Amino acid sequence: MTAEIIDGKALAATVREKVAGQVARLKENHQITPGLAVVLVGEDPASQVYVRSKGKQTVETGMNSYEHKLEADTPEADLLALIDTLNNDPEVHGILVQLPLPGHLDEDLVINSISPEKDVDGFHVSNVGRLGTGQKSMVPCTPLGCLMMLREHHGRLSGMDAVVIGRSNIVGKPMAQLLLGDSCTVTIAHSRTRDLPGTVRRADIVVAAVGRPQMVPGDWIKPGATVIDVGINRIAAPERGVNEDGSPKSRLVGDVDFESAAAVAGAITPVPGGVGPMTIACLLANTVTACCRANGLDEPEGLTA
Ligand code: NAD
């Protein structure tokens, strides 16, 4: 069997189109332009790339993008003061503080100082609790993107056996909550799971969010299962030649061994081009959802969980 490829790039483009349509509707009918504020502290190169990409896509969908770049040694009080200003700014509907933060800043404190209604990353403890109790919340972007891909592929997920590998607050745990919300039978596996291969083999849906290159081989996958690979890992790829400094070129791989898994699975997401593009698309979707809620308007169908 050769798995169907779940094209995250294409679905992300569809989500962005939907977002752009909603932005146009908000502008035309209500004279409101959704706005997303992104706060970057320090100069982490990967974070800079993410922030640039988020800002670009925000503008492309017709929204306002506000970027706040702070020095790496910014005192916590200054960051909290900026968040307070953004919380009270009616032009700002979504606030995202790019993680990781420099070590002297308390990540939990910072995230929980964002107004939950503007917390488009869905990391505020109030949104975590709301998701866990089935109330309307802001849903973390990466798991929301995974859920959208699963719904797109399967329609209803009710009754399916799902295994989420990884129990992080930003991917594994919210992913499990979302699958439970769609009536899957959910197992969360992690580094202490006794029989990981056996656990994964029972799953109709496997979501791998570990951060270990190609750790899930095809012979762990139940024939016909759907595999969502969240992992983004850079590995050396000497077959691609060498860089100017003589080091081998590299490439991105997921947490799943794509070749062997694709030979067994019914459907699988590639890396790159799977979950990654959906994450930013869902950030834009969350911003529109937050804007509609803030203005007492009906929120668009299909852009949240
Ligand atoms: P994390 O390090 O916070 O969590 C990893 C989890 O994997 C932990 O819960 C741990 O228990 C589990 N784990 C570690 N070793 C294991 C093992 N041998 N067997 C089973 N479980 C094990 O990571 P995270 O933030 O959840 O991210 C996971 C991966 O997803 C990373 O590669 C990250 O880059 C990627 N990621 C991708 C996106 C995206 O947009 N595509 C977004 C977020 C994270």
Catalytic residue check, 54: yes
Distance between Cα 64 and ligand 1 center (Å): 31
Regarding pTM above 0.85, the answer is yes
Ligand 1: which residue has its CA nearest to atom 12? 166
**How far are the Cα atoms of 20, 183, 217, 226 from residue 23, in angstroms, in the given order?**
5, 32, 42, 33
Which mutation among 123, 210, 275, 283 tests ligand 1's pocket best, with the greatest number of atoms within 8 A of CB? 210
The arrangement of secondary structure in 141-278, i.e. its CATH architecture, is: 3-Layer(aba) Sandwich (3.40)
Instruction: Give the model's pLDDT for residue 1.
Output: 61
Instruction: Give the model's pLDDT for residue 252.
Output: 96
**Rounded Cα–Cα distance for residues 59 and 280 (Å):** 13
Low-confidence ranges of the chain (pLDDT < 70): 1
Instruction: Give the model's pLDDT for residue 249.
Output: 95
Q: What is the pLDDT of residues 39-79, one digit of tens each?
A: 999 999 999 999 999 999 999 999 999 999 999 999 999 99
Class of the 30-120 domain?
A: alpha beta
User: Is 30-120's fold the same as 141-278's?
Assistant: yes
Which mutation among 227, 230, 252 tests ligand 1's pocket best, with the greatest number of atoms within 8 A of CB? 230
Ligand 1 lining (C-beta closer than 6 Å) = 142, 165-168, 170-172, 189-191, 193, 196, 209-212, 230-233, 275-276, 279
Residue 230: phi and psi, rounded to 5, are: -85, -25
Distance between Cα 144 and ligand 1 center (Å): 16
Distance between Cα 211 and ligand 1 center (Å): 4
Ligand 1: which residue has its CA nearest to atom 34? 232
Distance between Cα 6 and ligand 1 center (Å): 20
Q: What is the pLDDT of residues 273-296, one digit of tens each?
A: 999 999 999 999 999 999 999 999
- Per-domain residue ranges of the chain: 30-120, 141-278
